[in-house]
Amino acid sequence: MAAHVFRGKGVRRPVTGALVVLLLLCTACQGGRRGPGRLGDGVLNVGVSLSLTGQFAQEARLMLDGYRLCERRVNERGGLPVAGRRVRLKLHIRDDYSEPAAAARIVGMFADRGYHLLLGPYGSQATAVAAAAAERNGQILVNALGASDSISERGYRNTFSVISPASEYASSILFALRELARPQPRRVVFLSADDDFSRSVTRAGERTARSLGMRVLPTRYFRSGATDLSAALTRARKERPDLIIGAVHFAEGVVLVRQSRELGLDGTAIALTVAAATAELPQRLNGLAEGVIGVSQWVPRPENRDAWFGTADDYAAAYRSATGREPPYHAAAASASCLALVLAVRRAGSDRAEPVRSALAALDEPSFFGRIAFDARGRNAYKHMTVTQIQRGRPVPVWPAVAAESTLTWPGAR
């Protein structure tokens, strides 16, 4: 995809009376490009800032698959019914290069073009700045994978998140192990990237571990995007933890698992907050990832369905047909955020920001992703996490019991 060129605002020039009249006439003819949306053209324009290159390209490209699947599904079914007519969904996707500042600029560019509706970027830092910009501009942002709790704690009216917050990632793993692991872990250490999402995961995980009676060893922080974690792992090995929890993204997770095996930590359980729920991790590590525990925002559940995608299994089949791969939660969350926006626009009968915001606030709908309904902070009030483990080369759900497809394999279990 070609990079977008950001244009400056240019030099201000005096505006004559005749030109004012001409501009007003043009605005009336075109439906107000900077005011109301352009549904009169039969198109619902939605802006997306996404990390197609840079540090988070791996995760963001999975989201891209999910966004495109939603776009195709809506348009293959004749478009979205809005106020008695059908409109085509068009996602305008721009590369933010995994740079939060670029995401903010892209949101501003969409505002200049009159796009009131946005789907979220990948990651908490990019989502945080996109949410702040959208709030200033009066745009609506449906957040797919910016999980940091701080995003929903800033009092924004215009940001709605379909996923569980970062505070539930490590905590869900710890609750699962408390229930399933025998012997139970007594000593846990967190290895955490130094970014907003990972810090949120770690702080909440430390609180949960202590509340469950575990000893929390000193947390090791490292630079986000680090390619060598051997020093942190060596220090952790000396403290003999039963469990290492990596608050990491995909690339850091690959490094953590590979180097832990190289350093002889085979008897220590390893859990990751992002990477272990994807098929790509065991593929990348050629067997080294066996037994790694993960956490997922979504796994297919037969009771989850909606009018656009059908059941969760139908969604998974559509994703496999489009990509040749099993659907990761990154893609499902992206499709779900797109679906939430589509449902809100249909309910609002408009693509203007305030009616869509009101429709999102009132939304309570079933979906292939699970029930979608937002609380006063814009969080999906009915969303919970699933704990997985890589077994025989693929991630399988092991907790909670209602979603489990296998039993947990635990080091030292008799």
How confident is the model over 97-103, as a mean pLDDT?
97
Q: What is the pLDDT of residues 168-193, one digit of tens each?
A: 999 999 999 999 999 999 999 999 99
> Does position 60 have pLDDT exceeding 60, yes or no?
yes
Query: For residue 215, with 0-12 CB atoms within 10 Å meaning exposed, 13-18 middle and 19 or more buried, which class applies?
Result: middle
> Does position 12 have pLDDT exceeding 50, yes or no?
no
Q: Are strands 372-373 and 215-216 parallel, antiparallel or unpaired?
A: unpaired
Domains present along the chain, CATH in parentheses? 36-164+301-373 (3.40.50.2300), 167-296+386-399 (3.40.50.2300)
How confident is the model at residue 35, as a pLDDT? 41
How confident is the model over 295-322, as a mean pLDDT?
96
> Does position 23 have pLDDT exceeding 80, yes or no?
no
How confident is the model at residue 279, as a pLDDT? 87
Band the pLDDT of 310: cuts 50, 70, 90.
Answer: very high
Band the pLDDT of 215: cuts 50, 70, 90.
Answer: very high
> Does position 25 have pLDDT exceeding 80, yes or no?
no
Q: What is the pLDDT of residues 122-168, one digit of tens each?
A: 999 999 999 999 999 999 999 999 999 999 999 999 999 999 999 99
> Does position 36 have pLDDT exceeding 70, yes or no?
no
Specify the pTM. Answer: 0.84
The 3-state secondary structure of the chain reads CCCCCCCCCCCCCCCCHHHHHHHHHHHHHHCCCCCCCCHHHCEEEEEEEECCCCCCHHHHHHHHHHHHHHHHHHHHCCCEEECCEEEEEEEEEEECCCCHHHHHHHHHHHHHCCCCEEECCECHHHHHHHHHHHHHHCCEEEECECCCHHHHCCCCCCEEECCCCHHHHHHHHHHHHHHHCCCCCCEEEEEEECCHHHHHHHHHHHHHHHHCCCEECCCEEECCCCCCCHHHHHHHHHCCCCEEEEECCHHHHHHHHHHHHHCCCCCCEEEECCHHHCCHHHHHHCCCCCCCEEEECCCCCCCCEECCCEEHHHHHHHHHHHHCCCCCHHHHHHHHHHHHHHHHHHHHCCCCHHHHHHHHHHCEECCCCCCEEECCCCEECCCCCEEEEEECCEEEEEECCCCCCCCCCCCCCC
How confident is the model at residue 7, as a pLDDT? 33
